[in-house]
Amino acid sequence: MKVAKFGGTSVASGTQIKKIKSIITSDPDRKIVVVSAPGKRFSGDSKITDLLIALGNAAFAHKPAGELRENIIDRFSAIAEELHLPAQIVQEIDETIEQILSSDEPDHTKMDALKSIGEDSSAKLVSTYLEMAGYQAKYMNPKDAGIIVSDEPGNAQILPESLSALASLREEEGIIVIPGFFGFTKDGQLMTFPRGGSDITGSIVAAGVQADLYENFTDVNSVYTVNPTIVQNPKEIRTLTYREMRELSYAGFSVFHDEALIPAFEAKIPVCIKNTGNPDAPGTMVVADKKPQEKCVVGIASDTGFASLYISKYLMNRELGIGRKLLQILEEENISFEHAPSGIDEMSVIFRDNQLTRGKEEAVIRRIKSELNPDTISIDYDFAMIMVVGEGMNNTIGIANKAAAAFSDANVNIEMINQGSSELSMMFGVKTDKLNQAIQSLYKTYFD
């Protein structure tokens, strides 16, 4: 049994839903389908969920909503017409919106209900289309499916009891279509997940039914070895481990949110990332473990927006606790650090610079000066981090050598190297304006 999840672009139009119908029905193992809300059909188009949120915000602020509601209904009508579905299905969506907006519930409850309409309608459209084409298929509400969540509107967390509740889905006949992005509390209250939450639904359902495979259909052929906006037509990754996926996701790989996959990872369900527009392409498999001979560099990730705080103090390494105190000051100022390379009389702390407003920067520097009395202190911005990822690479002689040579070839100075804790990544800090040339040179070294 496979669980197939289709992202927003895969259900953005009737044409796309025709494609997913043929994907679903071409493999009898594809018994459970999870869908997102209709996404963008073209660059500049709106996502249904964004329109629904805007509608809610306007209504709760008692401001005019313009043609938001008409736009939403028009999108669903266009899909229904293209698929020759009965007009009643769209009329029911409009009635649901009316019902929510005119109810006496608190605003956050109404907002969660509004936001769920995108996925919920998507599932109804897809299941009806499959039924009308002669397949045994049915829409299933997350409450009936058994997706039980915490009471946190807009930020619901899956509760562990979902797993056993979902297991009974294995017994269902035909194809089941479940809307992503929301679940229900034990008291039956609808709650949405954080954004990107359809991946959470797909992942927990795959884990609950103990699927043989969780397929994640999106709009790219695979996960790429490097960001395609930096390197043209980069190689595709065939197989990734969960851990490699997590390291890559950390630094800018945005195919999907890695934390959404945790339920699938914990149940050791293999995940396949595929392209709705090109379903015959092999895609990228994400698995628990790889054969040793496959262990090498699999990808290069990068991210910008880092800053480096530097302090120096003569004989610092004799001062027990100074490194800890520096981290504690940052912690008390609510700054989470990424790395802390240290010399003998020096220490740097690398952190994401969006945590530091001008006022906070001054406060942090003032505290460090008065509490640690350093000889020098400075904060540098515009750092980018590059992560070279691959299982087993840190036990491979010559990997660091190749990386360092790539930076040298690209004429890029390495500002920071962090290696020694992770078994499957090496991290390099460079100046942001040197990032692209460094990445291109690393790509050439490992993949060309």
Which residues bind to its own copies, rule: CB under 8 A? 246-247, 250, 259, 262, 308, 310, 314-315, 317, 320-321, 323-324, 327-328, 331, 334, 336-348, 350, 394-398, 400-401, 403-405, 407-408, 411-423, 425-427, 429
Q: How far is the CB of 263 from its own copies (least distance, A)?
A: 13
Q: How far is the CB of 445 from its own copies (least distance, A)?
A: 11
Nearer to its own copies, 185 or 437 (CB): 437
Q: Spell 145-154 as b/e; 16+ CB within 10 A means b.
A: bbbbbeeebe
Q: How far is the CB of 381 from its own copies (least distance, A)?
A: 15
- What's the 3-state SS for 344-394? CCEEEEEEEHHHCCHHHHHHHHHHHHHHHCCCEEEEEEEEEEEEEECCCHH
The CA distances from residue 358 to 114, 144, 304, 353, in Å, are 38, 50, 19, 11
Residues 6+ apart with CB under 8 A from 291: none
Of the chain, the end-to-end C-alpha distance in Å amounts to 38
- 88-101 and 107-132 are packed helices; what angle lies between their axes, rounded to 10 degrees? 170
Nearer to its own copies, 94 or 345 (CB): 345
Q: How far is the CB of 229 from its own copies (least distance, A)?
A: 23
State the Cα–Cα distance between residues 437 and 97, nearest whole angstrom.
50
Nearer to its own copies, 383 or 443 (CB): 383
- Of 266, 211, 31, 197, the closest CA to residue 130 belongs to 31
48: helix, coil or strand? Answer: helix
Nearer to its own copies, 105 or 331 (CB): 331
Residue 241: phi and psi, rounded to 5, are -90, 160
Nearer to its own copies, 279 or 341 (CB): 341
Nearer to its own copies, 73 or 377 (CB): 377
Q: How far is the CB of 364 from its own copies (least distance, A)?
A: 15
Q: How far is the CB of 403 from its own copies (least distance, A)?
A: 7
* Count of C-beta atoms within a 10 Å radius of residue 85: 21
* Count of C-beta atoms within a 10 Å radius of residue 126: 26
Query: Which residue type does 313 have?
Result: K
Q: How far is the CB of 415 from its own copies (least distance, A)?
A: 6
Nearer to its own copies, 18 or 402 (CB): 402
